[in-house]
Homo-oligomer: A and B are copies of this chain.
Amino acid sequence: MKASSYHYKTLKDAPSDTELVSHKLMIRAGMIKPLASGIYSWLPLGLKVLKKIENIIREKMDKGGCLEIYMPMVQPKSLWDETGRSDEYGPELLGFKDRGDREFYLGPTHEEVVTDLARKEINSPKDLPLTFYQIQAKFRDEIRPRFGVMRAREFLMKDGYSFDLSETSMKQTYSKIKQIYIEIFNKLKLDYRIVNADSGSIGGSSSEEFHVLADSGEDLLAFSDESDFACNVELIEEDDVNKIPGMDSPDGMGKLDVKKGIEVGHIFQLGNKYSKSMDLKVQDNNEIKYLEMGCYGIGVSRIIAASIEQSHDEKGIIFNETLSPFNLIIILINQKNDESINLKANYFYEKLKDAGNDVLLDDRDCSPGIKFSDAELIGIPHQLIISKKTIESDSYEVVTRKDLSKKEITEEELFALFS
Contacts and interface: CB of A to CB of B under 8 A. Distances in A.
A185 B74 CA distance: 30
A33 B121 contact: yes
Given A67-B7, A67-B44, A39 B72 contact: yes
Interface in A125-164: 127, 130, 132, 136-137, 139, 141, 143, 153-154
A73 B35 CA distance: 11
Contacts of A84: none
Interface in A38-55: 39-44, 47, 50
Interface-central residue, A42, A67, A94, A154, by most chain B CB under 10 Å: A67
Interface string A73-110: 11110000000000000010011101110101010000
Interface stretch (A112-120, A213-221, A407-415): A112-120
Number of copies: 2
B76 A36 contact: yes
A186 B216 CA distance: 51
B98 A69 contact: no
Given A76-B36, A91-B99, A94-B96, A42 B70 contact: yes
A71 interface: yes
A250 interface: no
Given A7-B121, A106-B106, A35 B70 contact: no
B74 A153 contact: yes
Contacts of A141: 98-99
Nearest to A50: B70
A99 B154 contact: no
Interface string A4-17: 01110100000000
A98 B38 CA distance: 12
Contacts of A191: none
A98 B74 CA distance: 15
A35 B72 contact: yes
A302 to B, nearest CB: 15
B5 A40 contact: no
Interface of A: 5-7, 9, 33, 35-37, 39-44, 47, 50, 65, 67-76, 91, 94-96, 98-100, 102, 104, 106, 113, 116-117, 120-121, 127, 130, 132, 136-137, 139, 141, 143, 153-154
Q: Which 8 residue pairs are nearest across A and B when measured between Cβ atoms?
A: A96-B96, A42-B70, A44-B67, A41-B71, A39-B72, A36-B76, A91-B99, A72-B154
